[in-house]
Chain A
């Protein structure tokens, strides 16, 4: 069953916590991965790959650069999940 936006944000928070050590409560829709959460471009790739596995979605390299905020990523996953 497809995940809801709330479930996706919760999942992303766990992934970001695992990869970058950011507290899960800090991962909110309006937060920028780079500026607010200190997720650099290479960690972002790890976040994306983990999200692909968790939500059964493909996020091509060309789309990764458009995912600036947690909200961008959640919307992308909502739209593209299998």
Chain B
């Protein structure tokens, strides 16, 4: 017989309850990057908008930075680690494929025995995680979900590649997603375009080292086809951002903040033009002093926008992540 199964009971809606970030202590100016590439401070600034970035030291591991950022997000949400009942970690720079780093982070936080796993979705990893967290909270499989974006991209940077040496940074950002009486995370517009998988990629797979003399094989790095990625990011992602606004029933005039993945200042500037965002919208430009931190960039930028008073709790923000895959995810959220 088909027995009657009790359904799970979730919250009516979900919201971001708190945000926190961790930036490595070492600040790396463009001058240091220029030791390895033939370029100039002006070239780097005009092509990317980046003046400094943070690179992690040996003690600032993926787990350590995550624990720091998560602790701040949990406190910001007015909760304690024991309240967290799921941990999702978006990253591409944790160098063990198994086990997931999420379980170690959950344990070190003192979160008990929550479900914990990693997400591989490039620079869209955080917004993918946010979408999963919202689903878990409203479906009832978790009440408070910790979503972390963390990267040590300096480990995957070819410091002699003049097209990318200056681009990447390290850091961690986290949010806690929990129950809400009103909608505070809009519908996610997300997807992938696998036909463009080659435009942003790790140069070599890890198994290239099998049987090889490590000295003969260059360590893998992230490369990208700049023009193709720029075109996709600006014009295709502006359409996705607009779809996310439409899906949430929000007009650009109603937005208080725009927090795109911090890929490149030129992409951010051109997206604003393509989206025709009104002047009053606060735009996250954390990339200038943080570089591109992939999945960590949106929560880090969100934290800074709130900390500097450019946006405030309760404001309506559009977030969009996009990157290697190619993958993307956008949604309108109420800021914590």
Contacts and interface: CB of A to CB of B under 8 A. Distances in A.
Interface of A: 40-42, 44-46, 48-49, 61, 64-65
B231 A41 contact: no
B47 A42 contact: yes
A64 to B, nearest CB: 6
Contacts of B228: 61
Given A46-B270, A49-B235, A40 B46 contact: yes
Interface string B36-74: 000000000011000000000000000000000000000
B191 to A, nearest CB: 20
B226 A61 contact: no
B227 interface: yes
B227 A64 contact: yes
A42 B266 contact: yes
14 contacts: A40-B46, A41-B47, A41-B227, A42-B226, A42-B227, A42-B230, A42-B264, A45-B227, A45-B230, A48-B231, A49-B234, A49-B235, A61-B231, A64-B227
Contacts of B315: none
Contacts of B270: 46
Pick from B225, B231, B264 the residue with the most CB of A within 10 Å: B231
Q: Is the interface of A mostly helix, strand, loop or mixed?
A: helix
Contacts, number: 28
Interface of B: 46-47, 225-228, 230-231, 234-235, 264, 266, 270
Pick from B47, B225, B270 the residue with the most CB of A within 10 Å: B270
A41 B47 CA distance: 9
Chain A to chain B: the 5 pairs with minimum beta-carbon distance, closest first: A61-B228, A45-B231, A42-B266, A45-B230, A45-B227
B227 A44 contact: yes
A49 B230 CA distance: 11
A41 B46 contact: no
Given A41-B226, A42-B266, A61-B227, 16 more contacts: A40-B46, A40-B47, A41-B47, A42-B226, A42-B227, A42-B264, A44-B227, A45-B230, A45-B231, A45-B234, A46-B234, A48-B231, A49-B234, A61-B225, A64-B227, A65-B227
Contacts of B226: 41-42
A62 to B, nearest CB: 9
A44 B266 CA distance: 12
A70 B230 CA distance: 21
Contacts of B264: 42
Nearest to B273: A46
Contacts of A64: 227
A11 to B, nearest CB: 19
Contacts of A49: 231, 234-235
